[in-house]
Structure 1
Amino acid sequence: MPADTAREDIRHFLTSRRARLTPQQAGLPDFGGRRQVSGLRRSEVAQLAAISVEYYTRLERGNVGGVSEQILDSLATALQLDDIERAHLAALIRAANAPHHASDRDGGTSHVRDSLQQILDAMTGAAAFVRNAHLDVLATNQLARALYTDAFDTEEQPPNLARFVFLAPRARRFYRDWNGIAHNAVGSLRAEAARTPGNTDLVDLIDELATHSDEFAMRWDAHDVKYYRSGQQRFHHPAVGDLDLDYDALEVPADPGLTIVTYTLAPSSAHAPSFLGLLKHSEASEPTSPAASNHLP
């Protein structure tokens, strides 16, 4: 990410964060009358952050040289940023202040160690796969292949979950909460773009998605950030029907950029018959091509 791009992203991010807050939400008095801006004024953010209006205006324009942790904390508090948004702003500031060095594969790790594949294969009661920060799926276990058969069976390898979500019509049937997964996918890529400046592969992916999906472009312009960590995902599987599965995303410290994603069924779930059907479906499925193998190319 060139410094000019980072500064532009800082401008849009700070503008969008203050636009979403009302004076009442920020604990400021409301004197009535018609406001000319959506959300907080720059002067109100400066007041809340205990900095001058002139200094905040410079920050919002992307002039962030010498920003201290104290100022960053003050901004995060004033704009009610969560931990993910604060980390994102810090990453953008680092990118704006750092020399630009292009890198073809920052965050786009493509190698999966054999021991990681062994971990996946040992998870017989969970659907599990390894993905990188670009949302490329690099390795799977048998149950994950059965669950994500529509997403993984694609000519383009390795499969990319963001491409599936935004470019494959069947994704809207597969994800019963399509809006939620779309928000998470865009937010994850937005956060990764700030973490890995100069990431040309990611820039190419984002350009491709924005060109071919108006929905992606609209969500990208919102500058929301998100980490896919844990929660519940609601699927409609073409063979077994509805499934509500708990998910956890586990980063691999030994392999920066790689994450193991697991899907499990809660013991009290009403979808136990569907999950049992998925298990039987996976056992009956045999890899028939390189795209169907556990170690995806």
Structure 2
Amino acid sequence: MDNRDVVGAFLRSRRDRITPGQAGLPEYGRRRVSGLRRGEVAALAGVSVEYYTRLERGNLKGVSDSVLDALARALRLDDTERMYLYDLARAAGPAPGARAKQRAVGPTVRPSVARIVERMPELPAYVMNNRLDTLTANPLGRALYSQMYDDPTCGANVARFAFLNAAATRFYTDWERMARFAVGALRVEAGKNPYDRELSNLIGELSTRSDAFRVMWGSHDVYVFRDSTKRLHHPLVGDMELDQETMSLPDESGLSVVVYSAPPGTPAEDGLKLLAAWTATTGRERDTESPSKPSTRQP
């Protein structure tokens, strides 16, 4: 996979956002660029203009860690952007074997992890992979994201829901912020696993079907889900402001457990209690309708 276009676009986008004043450089002469010139980045990174030009043309093959660190400092990259630059450099190296390129079978959720998620009855929780697929969820998690699970075209994927289901713009009160986070997370994963065919197919699908995704993807911003506050409008319980914690599993699966909670005594806590009561009621109704048939509904 040739990632030179991605490398060049990322470096240019980071260079364009920094003014000489921000970099501590004097501003002189008429400038034809909004940010730093190539020569200014080269000087800040301690490399020649010719060498930096080669990097910005997308050739990161064989670049040392010290040069990558200097480049990250010159472009004022944050920790996520620095990690992404290193991932792009690794992807520019020798191609992995055909097995690694395929990555056809994704990681599965360990039964012990699924039990932990299922037995948190008061908190919405689910397990998510790096492509933003929700692989399993507890009843309250499915109830919170009921509009996503009710739409089979979403495939229980948060990014598909955000960009392809009109209900998402009402569900996420800060839709644009959340959408940019989702795009940034997918770009991080694309840099880390450029041969992931399912990821490439997802990005291609979203780029084809959503103008908003295509524009945000072109910004080359990157993001890693950690902790955040989500402002949601659920069709049954109304507005809720929930704290989200994303905890990566300590293995090589790339899976994370996502849990939502609300501070005690807040309207959001009342909303979760109401949603839990509704979930328990509808669950009992399903059991009553089909007492001899176990549920086969998948998240």
CA 1:293–1:237: 2 relative to 1, 3 Å: farther
Partner of 1:99: 95
Q: Which moved more, 1:209-218 or 1:115-124?
A: 115-124
Partner of 1:125: 122
Partner of 2:233: 236
Cα deviations by residue, 1:189-241 (Å, 9 ceiling, x for unpaired)? 10101111211111111110000001000111111110111110000000000
* 1:130 match: secondary structure: strand
1:254 and 1:192 map into 2 onto residues whose CA distance is: 16
Q: Is the 8 A contact 2:139 2:279 kept in 1?
A: yes
> CA shift at 1:42, angstroms?
0.3
Unaligned runs of 5+ in 2: none
Partner of 1:207: 204
Cα deviations by residue, 1:63-106 (Å, 9 ceiling, x for unpaired)? 22221111111011100000100000110111011215453336
Which gives a bigger RCO, structure 1 or 2 (Cα 8 Å, sep 6+)?
1
Partner of 2:191: 194
Partner of 1:176: 173
> CA shift at 1:12, angstroms?
0.4
Question: Is 1:13 matched up with 2:16?
Answer: no
User: Match for 1:38 among 34, 38, 57?
Assistant: 34
Identity, in percent, stands at: 46
> CA shift at 1:276, angstroms?
2.0
Q: Within 5 Å, which residues of 2 pair with 1:30-109?
A: 30-31=27-28, 33-99=29-95, 101=97, 103-105=101-103, 109=106
Aligned residues: 290
1:270 and 1:152 map into 2 onto residues whose CA distance is: 25
Q: Is the 8 A contact 2:228 2:245 kept in 1?
A: yes
* 2:195 match: secondary structure: coil
Q: Is the 8 A contact 2:148 2:154 kept in 1?
A: no
Q: Is the 8 A contact 1:109 1:258 kept in 2?
A: no
> CA shift at 1:133, angstroms?
1.1
2:154 and 2:161 map into 1 onto residues whose CA distance is: 12
* 1:25 match: secondary structure: coil
Q: Within 5 Å, which residues of 2 pair with 1:148-297?
A: 148-156=145-153, 158-254=155-251, 256-267=253-264, 269-286=266-283, 296=299
* 1:249 match: secondary structure: strand
CA 1:115–1:42: 2 relative to 1, 3 Å: same
Partner of 2:111: 114
TM-score, normalization: structure 1?
Answer: 0.92
Q: Is the 8 A contact 2:18 2:36 kept in 1?
A: yes
Letter in 1 for 2:248: E
> CA shift at 1:126, angstroms?
1.4
Unaligned runs of 5+ in 1: none
TM-score, normalization: structure 2?
Answer: 0.91
1:134 and 1:261 map into 2 onto residues whose CA distance is: 14
Letter in 2 for 1:65: K
* 1:139 match: secondary structure: strand
2:14 and 2:256 map into 1 onto residues whose CA distance is: 29
RMSD over equivalenced CA pairs, Å: 2.1
